[in-house]
Amino acid sequence: MLDDRLYASLSAIEIADLVNHGRVSAREVVDTALALTADRDRALRAFTAVWADTARAAADEVDAAIADGTRLPLAGVPIGVKAGEGPTSWQNQRLAAAGCVPIGATSVPRAGTGWQTYGSTDRGPTLNPLDPAWSPGGSSAGSAAAVAAGLVPLATGSDGAGSVRIPAAWCGVIGFKPTNGLLPARDRAGLNTPGVLARTPGDAAAYLRTFTPATTPMVVRPPSVAWSPTLGYAATDPDVADTALRALQRIARTGLCSIVDHPVTLHDPAPAWTALRAGAADSGTEALTSANNANLRAVLNGVDLIATPTTPHPPHGHHGPGTRMSVALTWAFNLSGHPALTVPAGTTPDGGPVGLQLVARHGEDMLLLDVAARIDGTADASPCKAKQ
C-alpha cells in the first residue's frame, strides 16, 4: 500500500500518472483508499456502503490493461459515488472506462427531510472533516466529506440547487456544476446536473473530459470578473462576503484576474425554482426566469466571470439551518443553467470555511476550470485542514 499521507496529498491526475507509468499499481492505490476508509470513516460516516471486493477486482482490471500497454486518463483513481447512483450508472460507467475505481456509496440526506445540507447513514449523521460540530453541507454530503478527509481524490455528486457547491465550500474542496444539459440528467425540471467534488480544479477538469471533449478555448488573458456579494437579493453575512471578496482581491493582485465594477442584480429565484421543481411553472415563473436570464446575459456580455460567496453563511450545526437559505447564492445558476464552480476562499474571523463561487457563460465549462486551475491556492489565505 501507499503511505497514507502521500496518498491523501495526491491529486487524481497524479495518481493516474503514477499508475500509468508503473510506479504504483492500481491495486496498491485502492487498497490504501479502502484501508483509510475502514479506519477513518467509522467516525466520519461519509460512506453508506463500501464495495471492497468489487473495487479490488476493478483495480486488478486496470492493472491488467496497463500491463497490456493501455493508458487510461484516470487510471487507478479511487472515487466515491453519490448514493442513489450505483456503480453501473451512466456517469460511473464512463468514469470506470477512464480507469476510475468506485470504492463505495457516499451519504445523502434521508428521504423526506425538510432540509438538505447534511448526510445520513445508519450509523448517524455525516461529520464535516474540518470540524465535527458542523454539517458537511449537502446534498452531496458524503462525497464532500470523503474528498476533504483524503479518503478519495474525486467523488461524484449532483447539483439541483447547490448540492455540489455548498458541501464543497463547507468542507474546503473544489465543487463543479457543469452547464445544465451538458451531461445527461434524470430531472424533468431541467434544474439538476451531475457534478464532481475534487481535491484540485485539474481533477475536476479531468472528470469533465471523461464525458466531453475540451472544445472551449483556454484563457489567453486574465479574465474580467464582476463581484456580487448578494446577487441583488440574498441576505449574505458580512463576514462571509468580506472573506470571499478578500480572496478575489488576492487573486486580482497576482494579475490572474481583473475585478470590474459591474452590478449583478437578479430577482430572487426561489418562486421560479420551487414552481419548476414541483412541475407547477406558470407565466410568473417564465417572466422571472426570462428577466434573470436577460440580466445575466447583459453582465456576461461585459465580463468573463461572475464571482459571489458560495453560501450566504458558514456551516450550520447538525440541528439544521433554521430559517437560513444555504442555497440562496447557488440556485440562481441551476435555474439559468450556467456552469459554476466553488474554490476555497479562507475562513471567517471565527473559523468558518468560505467558498468563492465563479460563474461562466453557457458552454464555457473548460474555460471556467482553466481559470480555477490558474488561481488554485491563491484565493485561500487561511486554508482549513481536515482533523485527522
| Model confidence pTM above 0.75 | yes
More confident residue, 66 or 185: 66
- 282-311 pLDDT per residue, tens: 999 999 999 999 999 999 999 999 999 999
Report the pLDDT value the prediction gives residue 189, as an integer from 0 to 100.
84
- 260-286 pLDDT per residue, tens: 999 999 999 999 999 999 999 999 999
8-state DSSP, 154: E
Q: Average the pLDDT over 33-48 and give the result.
A: 97
Domains and CATH numbers, the chain: 4-209 (3.90.1300.10), 224-375 (3.90.1300.10)
- Least confident stretch, 57-66, 80-89, 139-148, 265-274: 80-89
The answer to whether residues 32 and 1 touch, using CB atoms and an 8 Å cutoff, is yes
- 6-25 pLDDT per residue, tens: 999 999 999 999 999 999 99
- 98-120 pLDDT per residue, tens: 999 999 999 998 876 666 777 88
Please give the Cα distance from 87 to 136 (Å, whole number): 23
Please give the Cα distance from 194 to 339 (Å, whole number): 12
Report the pLDDT value the prediction gives residue 86, as an integer from 0 to 100.
74
Count of CB atoms situated within 10 Å of the CB of 323: 6
Tally the C-alpha atoms within 13 A of residue 151's C-alpha that lie toward its C-beta.
35
| Residue 158: closest CA among 101, 97, 88, 108 | 108
74, 128, 222, 226, 249 from 256: Cα distances, Å: 28, 31, 5, 14, 10
Residues whose CB falls within 8 Å of the CB of residue 165, separated by 6 or more in sequence, listed in order: 159, 175, 177, 195, 310, 330, 340, 341, 342, 355, 357
The answer to whether residues 211 and 205 touch, using CB atoms and an 8 Å cutoff, is no
Say yes or no to pLDDT of 69 above 70: yes
Report the pLDDT value the prediction gives residue 259, as an integer from 0 to 100.
97
- Least confident stretch, 95-99, 149-153, 187-191, 285-289: 187-191
Helix or strand or coil: residue 82? strand
Please give the Cα distance from 280 to 278 (Å, whole number): 5
Report the pLDDT value the prediction gives residue 284, as an integer from 0 to 100.
94
Report the pLDDT value the prediction gives residue 388, as an integer from 0 to 100.
53
What residues are annotated to the active site? 82, 139, 163
